[in-house]
Amino acid sequence: MTDDQETTDTEDTTPSGSATLPPLRPPCERLSCHKSSVCSRSYFVVVMVFFHVYIINVIALLFYVHYSSGQEDASRSRDAQSSGHQRPESGPPPSKTEFLRDVSLTRIEGIRVGHVQKVSLVPGRVHEMRTLSLKPLLFEIPDFLSEDECRVVMQLAQLKGLMESQLMVQDGQEELAKELNLSPEEIFNLLDINQDGQLQLHEILTHSRVRDGIWLTPENLREIYAGLKADKDGNGLLSLEEFRLLSNDAFQRFLMQRGVKRSQLVRNSRHTWLYQGKGAHQVLQDIKARVTRLTRLPPYLVDLSEPLQVVRYEEGGHYHAHHDSGPVYPETACTHTRLAANTSTPFETSCRYITVLFYLNSVEGGGETAFPVADNRTYDEVSLIQNDVDLLDTRRNCNKSNLKVKPTKGTAVFWYNYLSDGRGWVGEQDEYALHGGCVVTHGTKWVANKWINIDPDYQRQARYQQLVSQQPGDEDDEGLTLNLDTHSSDIHQDL
């Protein structure tokens, strides 16, 4: 095309470029001749511009057609991205309803340790809420429950009947080695954290502190070594050869033969569950409403959470440090949304965004709630056991915990077991939320737990809410009856 244009241009200029003088023409004609060469250039420019505009129009049209047909997909993918899931635009359309995130969870600000804020929980009264730690975000509210309310909750729990929080271990469990399908060498290598070819006591305990619900202490281990003549050179370390001599369930069998006491379990208490929905005792409904005001979360999230758990520790009772909630992995499902999730996931954990713990009595001796690593500068699982001191052991080492809360009748403490995802939803598990109940040295201890269940996966939570709201007799925790079997067993996450 450009070539054509040039040719035309050349032809036009030839006459004016001739050597012979042309006959005189009127000035206007000369002008037009001169003009025509200028005109051909502008013609070229006009054609070029037109051509480019044409191309741009075609491209714009193609874009328009593509966009209008893919609009639905695009808006879906925007939503999926905002909920942290990646969906390729060219992929198949989602088969299930995707929910737009229209909720932002309130998270109460701690400001600084010791900060006191006034909160309005009951008409005509003001409560004080003190920040106890920032990692985890933890608060204390004295007189959250009245004396009468504490009494009613304990009586209702007794009427219902409490059961052992942890059953005694049964003999003849499946061998660990068979379950794991690992050779002694492989297990040895996994446990040998510093890879020095020896197993130090803390290396064994960090990864196998709990064997079938039995809490192992460094002394237990030494006793087991001696009983099984495992540590031949008696240096407290196991070489691979010494380790190989132990069968994989040697620890369990040894403990069984010696007999296991309740105090050797992870948890030594009794508990029961009290429903707080419509028709429940007014005190239970009032407590639920107050928790909703305290946490400033949407009421339906509190309504759809687990019932109130009431726990009683006898003298000597304890609960070693644990997390109330599990870590967030893609392959982990939450117990409360599992049925609605419509997927089979290999792991299941309780997803308890918030724990509200009520002290129903003042304990005569011990029984504090310990937060071993609260506001620690760093969190390092391995350093939780050092020099035979296991910070998770609440029978022995509560005095070494960073924070201890003394049980006082009517006081509530509450904390977040998860961080925020920064966009108004539940984020990662907060490792600093590790806590336990110190051994009760005098008297009994009564506490209640109100857990607020939220799935870190927004879509799963939304689907669960939709499913429950479709069931007759919805609106409160009765919708959770299906899940209660798992709730009533101990589903706390132990390290």
**What residue ranges bind ligand OGA (CB under 6 A)?**
311, 319, 324, 369, 435, 437, 447, 449, 492
Nearest CA to 494 among 165, 129, 46, 274? 165
Candidate ranges 131-139, 176-184, 186-194, 320-328; the one touching Ca ion (CB under 5 A): 186-194
Q: Which does 192 bind (CB under 5 to 8 A by kind): Ca ion, ligand OGA, Fe ion, none?
A: Ca ion
Q: At its nearest, how many Å lie between ligand OGA and the CB of residue 241?
A: 41
Beta bridge partners of 452: 354
Q: Which does 447 bind (CB under 5 to 8 A by kind): ligand OGA, Fe ion, Ca ion, none?
A: ligand OGA
Q: Which 305-324 positions form the footprint of Fe ion (CB under 5 A)?
A: 324
DSSP for 113-135, please give it: TT-EEEE--STT--EEEEEEETT
Nearest CA to 388 among 257, 274, 220, 138? 220
Task: State the CB neighbour count (10 A cutoff) for residue 158.
Answer: 13
Preceding peptide of 407 cis, ω within 30°: no
**36 or 198: whose CB is closer to Ca ion?**
198
DSSP state of 265: B
Q: How many residues bind Fe ion (CB under 5 A)?
A: 1
Q: 3-state DSSP call for residue 421?
A: coil
Q: At its nearest, how many Å lie between ligand OGA and the CB of residue 449?
A: 5
Nearest residue to ligand OGA on Cβ basis: 437
Q: Does 490 bind Fe ion (CB under 5 A)?
A: no
Distance CA 293, CA 284 (A): 15
Distance CA 488, CA 311 (A): 12
Q: At its nearest, how many Å lie between Ca ion and the CB of residue 323?
A: 26
Distance CA 366, CA 397 (A): 12
Q: Which does 437 bind (CB under 5 to 8 A by kind): ligand OGA, Ca ion, Fe ion, none?
A: ligand OGA
Q: At its nearest, how many Å lie between Ca ion and the CB of residue 378?
A: 22
Decide: 435 and 311 in contact? Cβ < 8 Å: no
Q: Which 48-67 positions form the footprint of Fe ion (CB under 5 A)?
A: none
Q: Which does 194 bind (CB under 5 to 8 A by kind): Ca ion, Fe ion, ligand OGA, none?
A: Ca ion
Q: Does 196 bind Ca ion (CB under 5 A)?
A: yes
Buried b (16+ CB within 10 A) or exposed e, 471-483: eeebebbbbbeeb
Nearest CA to 290 among 409, 407, 412, 108? 412
User: Rg (Cα) of the chain, in Å, rounded?
Assistant: 36
Q: At its nearest, how many Å lie between ligand OGA and the CB of residue 435?
A: 5
Q: At its nearest, how many Å lie between ligand OGA and the CB of residue 487?
A: 12
Nearest CA to 320 among 100, 166, 483? 166
Q: At its nearest, how many Å lie between ligand OGA and the CB of residue 311?
A: 5
Among 42, 86, 95, 194, binds Ca ion (CB under 5 A): 194
Q: Which does 311 bind (CB under 5 to 8 A by kind): Ca ion, ligand OGA, Fe ion, none?
A: ligand OGA
Nearest residue to Fe ion on Cβ basis: 324
Instruction: Report the interface residues with Ca ion, using CB under 5 A.
Output: 192, 194, 196, 198
